[in-house]
Structure 1
Amino acid sequence: MAKAKSAFVCTECGAEYRKWQGQCGSCQEWNTLTEVRLAPARPGAGSTASAPSGRGGYSGALSREVVDLASVDLSEVPRLSSTFGEFDRVLGGGLVPGSAVLLGGHPGAGKSTLLLQTACKLAQQRRILYVTGEESLSQVAMRAHRLQLPTQGLKMLAETSIETILAVAEREKPEILVIDSIQTMHLEDISSAPGGVAQVRESAAALTRFAKQSNTVLLLVGHVTKDGSLAGPKVLEHMIDASLLLEGGADSRFRTLRGQKNRFGAVNELGVFAMLEQGLKEVKNPSAIFLSRNEEQAPGSLVMVVWEGTRPILVEVQALVDESALGNPRRVAVGLDPNRLAMLLAVLNRHGGLFTGDQDVFLNVVGGVKVLETSADLAVLLAVVSSLQNRALPKELVVFGEVGLSGEIRPVPSGQERIAEAAKHGFARAIVPRANAPKQAPAGMEVIPVDKLSDALEAL
């Protein structure tokens, strides 16, 4: 009997090594190598015959033919609507035939609920195969009944063997294949346990290969670790076409669906859902939710306009500045980068003349939104100034702009659209970078362009 071979695979980047070592040479991470058993080579496994393109539309199958780039067909890729406008927005317009989409999130975020709602509604017009590896068929049926979903026409399969799933999929020929979840799937010829590096990588590769060859939409559910990153090998994120993350705490009624990778649409697109008794319901106007403010304006509260994917969203930022009893004052930012907060406070001291070195500074973005762009810089500083001086800012004021280290206010992308969104929600004043100021302000709005941080402080 041939001796079983093994290798050591990095859980972060997927690099393989013959021997164990403390640090991965590819990603420089420590203690990330795990041992996996390699399956014996099968006859014909190395063949690269071109696969059939399947039903019309996008074909992800490989081809041996060499073609000129100018001769490639540029026709629009046909998309399938998920029946959720917010889901389609994050996907870039809908589901693309032959694509693999990975949906991640913490336990209880609503991953299975979102896909079950999508599958039940789409099953009325299209062929759907829903494979569950974590729940029994009765559990899924009870959830669908509780959510009052139409269950007629949805094909279900409770299975964890990839070979069996692919055989059933070949027979049923679904247009959409849902796998819940990829961490429970396994291949027979790999001896490691389900959820391991080798099993997750090879199972995802086999399913993705089937999706490309048959032009089937593949929807995978993935678990995340404590720090919010996807569990399993990092190479899994490179295999799929779109990686989506469903976020939202157990105590929050709202869920945000963010696109982290998308080969068919904009990256960092944001969709908002509300978790109700009937499941997830899309929120078509998220700015109205994030702007649920009190009638009496409090110091340290200010509205800013952030750009998420392809649309502007108005969110409220709150700052609390208090005298510190510690030798090292605290800098806490929820929804923003704490390192950037420390840098902005240094700019405020140097170019604004306001010292916060002996103050605790707490910052929070209302609604659980994570702001990843620099357009929130000016709003953050003005909110800090408002709390520091205990003076409330006007309720009809909206602010955006990037702050440089020399105190200048830099322009941000899509400034005209941000101002128009603020005017649509009834804001009467806007402090913006001078380069983003429109030639003609919207009706009923006063736009105040600024060049430096001192100009913005004077405008208050």
Structure 2
Amino acid sequence: MAKAKTAYVCTDCGADYSKWQGQCGECRAWNTVSEVRGVSGGGRGNRGARFEGFSGSLSSVQSLETVSLSEQPRTSTGMQELDRVLGGGLVEGSAILMGGHPGAGKSTLLLQTVCNLAGQVPALYVTGEESLQQVAMRAKRLGLATRNVNMLSETSVERIIQVVEAEQPKVLVVDSIQVMHVSDVESAPGSVSQVRESAAYLTRMAKQTGTILFLIGHVTKDGSLAGPKVLEHMIDCSILLEGSSDSRYRTLRGIKNRFGAVNELGVFAMLEQGLKEVKNPSAIFLNRGEEPAPGSVVMVVWEGTRPMLVEIQALVDMAQGSYPRRVAVGLDQNRLAMLLAVLHRHGGLHISDQDVFVNVVGGVKVNETSGDLALLAAIVSSFRDRALPQDLVIFGEVGLSGEIRPVPNGQERIHEAAKHGFTRALVPKANVPRKVPDTMKVVPVTKLGDVISALEDL
């Protein structure tokens, strides 16, 4: 019998240790080192020899200049938004990890994808958390075509590999990786060692057989994928399905992609028929009131390969306690504090005794710096209780010395705003295009004082 061995692995960065410790020495995170039970080298060798059909052939050395540069063929999922996030479609032999909160729609989205692909290529859906009857009832409720969809209810990785070897599907969905287990690993399903070994074994199978592998993963309370950090290094593409339970819209964001652009965003609407694509995301995030309100302005953010218009709102009010509150929803809290300091130093607005609440409408998370200028404009509008024009769009980065810095793809952002009926734009001077749209008036700014003066003249 193989002798079990014990190691300790950080779930955040994947660093290994010979004994337990409270803080990881690599990433400096606390209480992230977990015990991992595995087997000796003999056990691993036996498991690899059990499925000789997936052993692969011996690799050979090849010169880099002789490597073929032809693009890999892609298979469409039948959903343009999902294809956009994946980089144009599915690549043969790729491993894709989809994460999200419970109830976000991960299983629904992949069930729709499998049903769309079943008519083109053989597909297998493996469910470990639900029974086959539950999945069938969901498919019937959504009105999906289930004639060519193969199902399997199993949690053993060895059994799944045997079925894949017999059925030879081109698309394999495993729901979810947290309930899968390998018999040679002496730990419970969902532990660090089981998740790592199960994902490694399934990914190896996908690479050697050319199978497109989908892994569904859970997320932790802070929104990151549960399990060891090494799990994200094994796979080719990591996508995250986000959305609150009180909103019918879901955003699919690419976190890692070896076959396309990262930070690409796809938008879906949760309806009775399942997740439906939203072709024009800017339209759903610009559902504003008829009357202009102080503290509200539209900005243009760049998501992956396309611009998107979103509304940002700010509320500035007299602080009720000793310490003013700074609350940011959809934005970085530290960046809000920094921009407030810049506004006080270079803008002359004293708001240290005011509560500041900032929100990005629609649940969108803004990760780039192009929203700095719009954020400060919304704060100034709320502080002075003066509404900004509804046909105004703003974008730009603000530096610590009060200068307004340009952002990438400025011309595309202005044209996207003009396409949605906006007639005025407040942008960095370096982002003013050579050819301004006929219906658009662009106001260039270089420093924070110019911004405040321009807002007063509007």
**TM-score tier (shorter):** over 0.9
Asked whether the 8 Å contact 1:299–1:390 carries over to 2, the reply is: yes
Distance in 1 of aligned mates of 2:392 and 2:44: 67
Cα offset for 1:459? 1.4
Q: Deviations over 1:251-306 (max 9, x none)?
A: 11100000111111111111000000010001010000000001100000000000
Asked whether the 8 Å contact 2:124–2:150 carries over to 1, the reply is: yes
Asked whether the 8 Å contact 2:180–2:190 carries over to 1, the reply is: yes
Over 3 Å counting, the alpha-carbon distance change for 1:322 and 1:43 in structure 2 is: closer
Matched position secondary structure for 1:209: helix
Unaligned runs of 5+ in 1: 55-60
Unaligned runs of 5+ in 2: none
Distance in 2 of aligned mates of 1:373 and 1:46: 49
Distance in 2 of aligned mates of 1:352 and 1:25: 43
Matched position secondary structure for 1:89: helix
In the alignment, is residue 368 of structure 1 matched against residue 358 of structure 2? no
Output the amino acid matched with 2:293.
Answer: A
- 2:451 equivalent among 446, 452, 456: 456
Distance in 2 of aligned mates of 1:287 and 1:53: 49
Matched position secondary structure for 1:259: strand
Q: Deviations over 1:20-78 (max 9, x none)?
A: 222222222222222222223337839999x9999xxxxxx786311111111100111
Over 3 Å counting, the alpha-carbon distance change for 1:204 and 1:325 in structure 2 is: same
Distance in 1 of aligned mates of 2:255 and 2:291: 38
Count of equivalent residues: 453
In the alignment, is residue 284 of structure 1 matched against residue 284 of structure 2? no
TM-score (norm 2): 0.96
Give the 5 Å matches for 1:158-307.
158-307=153-302
Output the amino acid matched with 2:210.
Answer: N
Asked whether the 8 Å contact 1:300–1:319 carries over to 2, the reply is: yes
Matched position secondary structure for 1:231: coil
Output the amino acid matched with 1:337.
Answer: D
Aligned to 2:429: 434
Output the amino acid matched with 2:35.
Answer: E
Output the amino acid matched with 1:37.
Answer: R
Asked whether the 8 Å contact 1:79–1:96 carries over to 2, the reply is: yes
Distance in 2 of aligned mates of 1:453 and 1:53: 65
Aligned to 1:57: none
Distance in 1 of aligned mates of 2:347 and 2:90: 49
Cα offset for 1:16? 2.3
Output the amino acid matched with 2:388.
Answer: L
Cα offset for 1:121? 1.3
Over 3 Å counting, the alpha-carbon distance change for 1:324 and 1:205 in structure 2 is: same
Distance in 1 of aligned mates of 2:406 and 2:52: 49
Distance in 2 of aligned mates of 1:36 and 1:430: 56
Distance in 1 of aligned mates of 2:12 and 2:169: 33
Matched position secondary structure for 2:74: coil
Over 3 Å counting, the alpha-carbon distance change for 1:344 and 1:416 in structure 2 is: same
Q: Deviations over 1:358-416 (max 9, x none)?
A: 11010000000000000000000000000000000011000000000111100000000
Over 3 Å counting, the alpha-carbon distance change for 1:340 and 1:62 in structure 2 is: farther
Cα offset for 1:19? 1.8
Aligned to 2:15: 15
Aligned to 1:155: 150
Cα offset for 1:351? 1.1
Distance in 1 of aligned mates of 2:234 and 2:396: 37
Distance in 2 of aligned mates of 1:172 and 1:136: 20
Aligned to 2:71: 76
Distance in 2 of aligned mates of 1:53 and 1:261: 30
Q: Deviations over 1:174-227 (max 9, x none)?
A: 110000000010011111000011100000000000000011100000000111
In the alignment, is residue 38 of structure 1 matched against residue 1 of structure 2? no
Distance in 1 of aligned mates of 2:410 and 2:239: 27
Distance in 2 of aligned mates of 1:341 and 1:146: 44
CA-based RMSD: 1.9
Q: Deviations over 1:210-252 (max 9, x none)?
A: 0000111000000001111111111000000011000001111
Output the amino acid matched with 2:37.
Answer: R
Distance in 1 of aligned mates of 2:155 and 2:449: 62
Matched position secondary structure for 1:45: helix
Distance in 2 of aligned mates of 1:420 and 1:62: 52
Output the amino acid matched with 1:17.
Answer: Y
Output the amino acid matched with 1:193.
Answer: A
- 2:130 equivalent among 135, 139, 163: 135
Distance in 2 of aligned mates of 1:42 and 1:224: 33
In the alignment, is residue 4 of structure 1 matched against residue 4 of structure 2? yes
Distance in 1 of aligned mates of 2:450 and 2:23: 50
Output the amino acid matched with 1:380.
Answer: L
- 2:346 equivalent among 338, 342, 351: 351
Decide which moves more: 180-189 or 17-26.
Answer: 17-26
Give the 5 Å matches for 1:332-347.
332-347=327-342
Asked whether the 8 Å contact 1:53–1:214 carries over to 2, the reply is: no
Asked whether the 8 Å contact 2:2–2:39 carries over to 1, the reply is: no
